Amino acid sequence: MSLNRRRFIAASAASAAMSVLPLSALGNVLSEDNNLSWLKRFHDAKTKKPWLSAYQSVSSDSFSSQAQIEGKWPQDLTGTLYRNGPARHEIGDFRYQHWFDGDGMLQAFRMTSKGVFHQGKMIQTQKYLAENAAGRALYPGFGTVPPNPAPVTSADLVNVGNISVLPHNGKLLALWEAGSPWDMDPETLETKGLHSFSAETKGVPFSAHPRVENDGTLWNFGYASSANLIVLWHIDKNGKPVKVGTIPCDPMSMPHDFIVTSKHIVLMMPPLNYKREHASSFLDAHHWQENQATRVLVVDKNDFSQYKWLELPSQWVFHFGNGWEDASGVIRFDGARSEDPMIMISSFRDIMKGEVSESSHSRHHQYRIDTKSWTISEEPLFAAHIQTEFPAIDPRVSCVRNRRLVMMSNNDKTPAVHPNLNEVCSFDLESGLRDAYRYPDSQMPEEHLFVAKPGSALESQGWVVGTAHDWQKQTTLLNVFDVEAVSAGPIATATLPYALPLGLHGKFVAS
Ligand SMILES: [Fe+2]
């Protein structure tokens, strides 16, 4: 159970390096879908589908501007919204072949009494610097293998740090899924380098969705596919590892998020099985086995050697909202459940060549684990025509009982001209009321967060804060809603003089 760092580093490198096959093995990919044609196809498609600007490559490696404010910005909404996401999708005449391969850009929306100031900077990863110097794509990514790929000797060599951010212990970390966090300057957004929590854990995978309890205690997982190992992290509020352990998992899947309660860690392992043979990218090494169960790992927070495996019908949850546990030992958690992850994952490949494929359908479910009988059950939270993703909570109730969820959603009966989710909503788990605002078709919203009003009771007063790409006006917006009246629309909007590509996750730091 103890961490074998050498084994992890070797396995992580192997997981990344497996992407590098001889060009002959990629013959079909390169002859049918040569790299230049992905670039051309995307830009040709954008003339007919202008909303594809949400997936175009960033126009510069840094941005800064004061935003123009409309409406009344709440006086006590001050702080910084940090966001991360794939932003550079092209280098030279090469376009990445999966949205998740884009090099990461860190953004800060600084909200003060003087207004909103925006900064954005490309994360200066080893890969980004090396490819800039070479003037071409060098390394395989999550779903892309460029021509004549260079060898991958460690996962962090191809770590694009493009998924999320973690403010913790005064630090700001940019997170990827299969490697180390990137240490970022919270003021200048400069890249300081790879971060390790200790010498022993240097290079050990640290996933993009850590859970932070209200006292600053940090939990996370990582995985090394080639070693069939899950790693679990317990880090104190000062950023020091308390314990780091491993649990065997065979077959390995591709878990993206997890939940933590007062006593347990829960990881869902869908049957998206990792098989190294005959794969041209890390993504292509995963195979959906729809007839197999989804395994659910429940681990004792205090002793990583104590765990149980449970089973659910085949399913995939990309993001969870929150998990908590009552006095009788019943765990409850929620997540955006889909029947088949490959629809969603493939759609993010197709969008890179300007194609809209079948959209995935994720329907929010609530789960219940009885830790006395070790049984698990699930039930949907919404009608089948309501899709959801990017669940968020008041961070002060992380890992304890929550009543409210803020989510991006979609009503299948009112589709937009673009294929993305077009609503933001607040959902009351106790009353069952969903309060949603539908964005205009010209705006493509990203993740929205719950920001508590200073001094307010838990999950009571506050705001929903989130960004959107306006493809008609070619701007990026930061919207603020009253969490008690989301359907009334934004109470204030900060508009940037430029449009940024869609990103992934963010965190708000109050000032
Ligand atoms: Fe995520």
Query: 410-447: per-residue pLDDT in tens?
Result: 998 989 999 999 999 999 999 999 999 999 999 999 99
State the distance from the centre of ligand 1 to the C-alpha of 177, rounded, in angstroms.
9
pLDDT band at 8 (very low <50, low <70, confident <90, very high): low
Q: What is the dihedral of CA 352, 355, 358, 359, to 10 degrees?
A: 50
In angstroms, what is the span from residue 257 Cα to ligand 1's centroid? 7
Phi, psi of 23 (to 5 degrees): -55, -30
Residues of the chain above pLDDT 90, percent = 85
Q: What is the tens place of the pLDDT at every residue in 319-339?
A: 999 999 999 999 999 999 999
What distance in angstroms lies between residue 178's CA and the mean position of ligand 1's atoms?
13
C-beta of residue 367 within 8 angstroms of C-beta of residue 376: yes
Q: Which of 378, 375, 264 is nearest to 317 (CA)?
A: 378
Listed residue (110, 107, 135) closest to 122, CA to CA? 107
Q: Which of 110-114, 188-192, 279-283, 500-504 has the lowest mean pLDDT?
A: 279-283
pLDDT for res 389:
96
Cis, bond preceding 251 (omega within 30 deg of 0): yes
Q: What pLDDT shows up at residue 31?
A: 39
Segment 183-191 shows an average pLDDT of: 98
CA 50–ligand 1 middle distance (angstroms): 26
pLDDT of residue 127: 97
Query: With 90 as the cut, is the pLDDT of residue 26 above it?
Result: no
Split at pLDDT 50, 70, 90, the class of 35 is low
Closest by CA to 422, choosing from 444, 405, 442, 407, is: 444
CA of 164 to the centre of ligand 1 (A): 7
Q: What are the pLDDT digits (tens) for 93-115?
A: 999 999 999 999 999 999 999 99
What is the pLDDT of the chain when averaged over all its residues?
92
* Cβ–Cβ < 8 Å for 13, 152: yes
The whole-number pLDDT of residue 311 equals 98
The Cα–Cα gap between 354 and 274 comes to 28
Specify the pTM.
0.94
Cα of 36 from ligand 1 centre, angstroms: 29
What percentage of the chain exceeds 70 in pLDDT? 92
**How many angstroms separate the CA atoms of 297 and 129, rounded?**
38
Judging by beta carbons within 10 Å of its beta carbon (0-12, 13-18, 19+), is residue 491 exposed, middle or buried?
A: middle
Per-residue pLDDT, 120: 98
Compute the distance from residue 373 Cα to the ligand 1 centre, in Å: 31
pLDDT value for 44: 96
Domain span holding position 330: 5-510
CA distance 256 to 324: 19
How far apart are the CA of 442 and the centre of ligand 1, in A?
Answer: 24
What's the token pair of residue 388? 């959801």
Assess contact for 450 and 483: CB atoms under 8 A. yes
Query: What CATH number does residue 474 fall under?
Result: 2.130.10.10
State mean pLDDT over 145-150: 92
| Nearest residue to 459 via CA among 396, 507, 389 | 396
Residue 12 confidence (pLDDT) above 80: no
Cβ distance 175 to 164 under 8 Å? yes
Distance 408 CA to ligand 1 centre (A): 13
Taking residues 284-307, report their average pLDDT.
95
Given a cut of 50, is residue 13 above it in pLDDT? Answer: no
Per mean pLDDT, which range of 290-304, 346-360, 429-443, 458-472 is the poorest? 346-360
C-alpha–C-alpha distance, residues 98 and 100, integer Å: 5
C-alpha distances in Å from residue 447, one per residue of 394, 406, 411: 14, 9, 17
Note the pLDDT of residue 344. Answer: 81
Ligand 1 center–CA 318 separation, angstroms = 7
**Least reliable range by pLDDT among 277-286, 293-302, 378-387, 411-420:** 277-286
| Higher-confidence position of 107 and 277 | 107
Both tokens assigned to 116: 């909103």
What is the count of structural domains for the chain?
Answer: 1
Taking the centre of ligand 1 as the mean of its atom positions, its distance from the CA of residue 390, in whole angstroms, is 8
